[in-house]
Structure 1
Amino acid sequence: MKLLVITDAHLITQNGQKVAYAPYVKEMNLWMSQVDHTTFICPNKIRGPLLGLPFKIQDFKQIALRRLEFHTLISALISFLTIPYQAIVLWNAMRKADHIHLRCPGNLALLASMIQVTLPRKRKTAKYAGNWDPESKQPLAYNMQKWILSNTVLTKNMQVLVYGKWKSQTKNIKPFFTASYYNNDKEPIIDRNFKQPLKAMYVGTMGANKRPFETVQLIKFLRSSGLDITLEMYGDGPVVEDIKWYRKENGILDQIVIRGNQPGHVVKEAYKNADLLILLSKSEGWPKVVAEAMFWGAVPIVSSVSCVPWMIGNDKRGILIHDPEHIGAEYLGKQLTNKEALLEMSKEAAEWSRQYTMDTFAQEIKKLLQ
């Protein structure tokens, strides 16, 4: 089988190896292992560093297309001029493939989603890695992709993989997930008694969307209300210096530790020993760190965005924050002193997350390609 993958994700060469964003590579390794040959259509140049991982299978074809960008007048003009060429390249590659796999959302993926309409007999899948919530506010390009992909009159012979279960969806929309661990990674959950001091952690980019600064403020407010709680932060980004200043100004240097970017095995050990994971994101697709923390029994405190309510069972497996701007430290503090409830959430979180392993992920991909 010849698999064609169309994506806006960068795929570059480093030290003689083809590499891409690490979580994406781990998933694509599973797709590539099920087919005879893979072709990627994607950008091959990137500005700045890439948290890259080499593909296990290096023998694949890459067709380089520039990203379609419209942030400035010049980039928009160049993008519009290149669209006809890109459309021809995409259509020719689609015509030769046995299975077309789109990675959405993205501008290149939007163009590809339009072109696939002309090939109704081709077998296709689309992985929509953004927020599929029909009620959420999305950029126009994202809404267009969602409309085309879910329109079964235009889009034929395609399964669209989305995060979460949503009401009133067309028959080609399939709830999906992203896994991090294998079945053989499962270990007994460390016994937590949820006694103070509670150990919380944050994992992710230190940028405005993930609200790391607001997470630090929450810890400070919880401590001020009488709850003994500490925080370890894993990640890096533009907000780090603000957090360092805030810790010093508020006398909580010892209670909030910044670990920076760490390898997976270090973060894994932190999950095992943490009581809580806090993630107050403004937007998410599939919040991988939430699923990983739940796998090890850490109770998530998460904003109610995208598929998160589905993941944590509407407060059954964690604590939903509906308004991160007005959380209410006293209210949350009461929830965090209810040890029995936290123990039940921890148990439910681990049981739910451990359904979604890389092994089950591989089986789902195999079914999709059959």
Structure 2
Amino acid sequence: MRFLIISHTHHEITANGLSAYAPYIKEMNLWLNHVESVEVMAPKTNKKLSLSLKYDRKDIVFTPVPSIALTSVFEVLKTILVFPQLFFKIVNAMRRADHIHLRCPGNMGLIGCIAQIFFPKKRKTAKYAGNWDPNAKQPWSYRLQKYILSSEKLTKNMSAIIYGEWPQRSKNCKTFFTASYSEHQRTEIKQRKYDLPLRFMFVGALVAGKRPLYALKLVHELLKNEIPAELSFYGSGPQSVKLQHYVRKNQLEKFIYLYGNQDFRTLKQAYKKSHFLILSSKSEGWPKVVAEAMWWGVLPVVTRISCLPWMLAEGARGILIQNNLKNDVKRLKKELDNKNALRTKSHKAQLWSRKYTLELFEAEIKKLI
């Protein structure tokens, strides 16, 4: 089987092989365990990638394409100019392939969605890593990709894997998941006592879309209400300057810690000692940090977006917030008053997350191929 991957993820050619963003590569290596030959069609970068990893296979055919965007007038004009050649290149690659795999949402995914319409008999999969909520406010290109993938008239022989359970879902769409841990990592976790200070954590890029400053303000309000708490940030990004300024301005140096990007082992230890994970994002697909936190019994405090209400069973496995500081503090204080309920939620979160192992993930991927 010749397996074609069409992705917007930037790839780097190194002496050790073809590399790209590590979480993406970790997943794709599992897909590639079950195919005979591979072609990757994606943008090539000459810059050194951070958090990169190489494919396990060395026999990959890499077909570089221009990086395109629709974020400015210049980028739109550039896309219009390169579109005919790019579309022709994608169609030819699809003609060579036995199985077409699209990575969505993204600009390459959008062109791939359109091109695959002309190959109704080819076996196809699409990983839609964004928010599938039909009521979410999203760019038109994202909505168009969702429409094409879910349309049984336009898209044939497709398994579009999505996050969460949604009403009026077409036969093309399959609820899926992402895994971080293996069966052998099911170590026993001691039940938390929720002793003071309460230990909160934030894991991820410090960017506006993930609202790290809101997480900081939420913990600050608990401190104002004389609830001993501390918050540790694991990640880096442009919002770190605002966080540092807020900490200094409000003299929170003893309660707030910014650790920057940390490796897998450090995060594992952080999960083990923390009580709560805060993720107040504007949008998510499958937030791996939430599933990882739940694996270790950490209770998620998260926004009601994307598949998060489904992951948390509407609050039975965590705490759903509204990004309204006054209401969220009130809700959180009420939850903190009942330690037995917190322990029950933590246990349920752990049981749920530990169903989704890397072994199950690969087994489900094999069924799609």
TM-score normalised to structure 1 length = 0.97
**Contact 2:21/2:49 (<8 A) preserved:** no
- Kindly indicate whether residue 63 of structure 2 is the aligned counterpart of residue 75 of structure 1: no
For residues 88 and 138 of structure 1, the distance between their equivalents in structure 2, rounded to whole angstroms, comes to 28
The DSSP-based 3-state class of the residue aligned with 1:63 is strand
**Contact 1:201/1:276 (<8 A) preserved:** yes
- Kindly indicate whether residue 97 of structure 2 is the aligned counterpart of residue 97 of structure 1: yes
For residues 302 and 321 of structure 1, the distance between their equivalents in structure 2, rounded to whole angstroms, comes to 6
The DSSP-based 3-state class of the residue aligned with 1:33 is helix
**Contact 1:195/1:339 (<8 A) preserved:** no
Distance apart, 1:95 and its partner CA: 1.0
The one-character-per-residue Cα deviations of 1:37-96 (angstroms, maximum 9, x if unpaired) are 111100011667432112122320110111221223332222111111111111111111
* Higher deviation after alignment, 36-45 or 12-21: 12-21
Residue aligning to 1:40: 40
Distance apart, 1:150 and its partner CA: 0.5
The DSSP-based 3-state class of the residue aligned with 2:101 is strand
- Kindly indicate whether residue 141 of structure 2 is the aligned counterpart of residue 167 of structure 1: no
Residue aligning to 1:252: 252
- Kindly indicate whether residue 365 of structure 2 is the aligned counterpart of residue 354 of structure 1: no
**Contact 1:225/1:333 (<8 A) preserved:** no
The DSSP-based 3-state class of the residue aligned with 1:100 is strand
The one-character-per-residue Cα deviations of 1:87-118 (angstroms, maximum 9, x if unpaired) are 11111111111110000001111111111111
Q: Which amino acid aligns with 2:292?
A: E
Structure 2 stretches lacking a partner, 5+ long:
none
Residue aligning to 1:218: 218
Q: Which amino acid aligns with 1:13?
A: I
**Contact 2:321/2:328 (<8 A) preserved:** no
Taking a change above 3 Å as real, the CA distance of residues 239 and 120 of structure 1, as seen in their structure-2 partners, is same
* Higher deviation after alignment, 59-68 or 10-19: 10-19
Taking a change above 3 Å as real, the CA distance of residues 72 and 323 of structure 1, as seen in their structure-2 partners, is closer
Q: Which amino acid aligns with 1:251?
A: Q
The one-character-per-residue Cα deviations of 1:259-289 (angstroms, maximum 9, x if unpaired) are 1100011101111111111111111011110
For residues 100 and 345 of structure 1, the distance between their equivalents in structure 2, rounded to whole angstroms, comes to 41
**Contact 1:178/1:288 (<8 A) preserved:** yes
**Contact 2:12/2:48 (<8 A) preserved:** no
Alignment of 1:171-250 (within 5 A): 171-250=171-250
For residues 47 and 141 of structure 1, the distance between their equivalents in structure 2, rounded to whole angstroms, comes to 27
Residue aligning to 2:265: 265
Taking a change above 3 Å as real, the CA distance of residues 185 and 135 of structure 1, as seen in their structure-2 partners, is same
Taking a change above 3 Å as real, the CA distance of residues 15 and 243 of structure 1, as seen in their structure-2 partners, is farther
The DSSP-based 3-state class of the residue aligned with 2:74 is helix
* Higher deviation after alignment, 316-325 or 182-191: 316-325
**Contact 1:179/1:356 (<8 A) preserved:** yes
**Contact 1:7/1:103 (<8 A) preserved:** yes
Alignment of 1:218-367 (within 5 A): 218-367=218-367
For residues 32 and 350 of structure 1, the distance between their equivalents in structure 2, rounded to whole angstroms, comes to 29
For residues 50 and 196 of structure 1, the distance between their equivalents in structure 2, rounded to whole angstroms, comes to 37
Residue aligning to 2:57: 57
Structure 1 stretches lacking a partner, 5+ long:
none
**Contact 2:9/2:43 (<8 A) preserved:** yes
Taking a change above 3 Å as real, the CA distance of residues 327 and 37 of structure 1, as seen in their structure-2 partners, is farther
Residue aligning to 1:148: 148
**Contact 2:12/2:47 (<8 A) preserved:** no
Q: Which amino acid aligns with 1:124?
A: K
Distance apart, 1:246 and its partner CA: 1.2
For residues 324 and 36 of structure 1, the distance between their equivalents in structure 2, rounded to whole angstroms, comes to 51
CA RMSD of aligned residues (A): 1.3
- Kindly indicate whether residue 116 of structure 2 is the aligned counterpart of residue 110 of structure 1: no
The one-character-per-residue Cα deviations of 1:289-334 (angstroms, maximum 9, x if unpaired) are 0000000000000001100000010000000012345444233112
* Higher deviation after alignment, 112-121 or 190-199: 190-199
Residue aligning to 2:158: 158
For residues 317 and 262 of structure 2, the distance between their equivalents in structure 1, rounded to whole angstroms, comes to 27
* Higher deviation after alignment, 293-302 or 5-14: 5-14
Distance apart, 1:179 and its partner CA: 0.6
Question: How many residue pairs end up in the alignment?
Answer: 369
Taking a change above 3 Å as real, the CA distance of residues 46 and 329 of structure 1, as seen in their structure-2 partners, is farther
Identical positions, percent? 43
TM-score normalised to structure 2 length = 0.97
* Higher deviation after alignment, 280-289 or 236-245: 236-245
For residues 10 and 91 of structure 1, the distance between their equivalents in structure 2, rounded to whole angstroms, comes to 20
**Contact 1:182/1:359 (<8 A) preserved:** yes
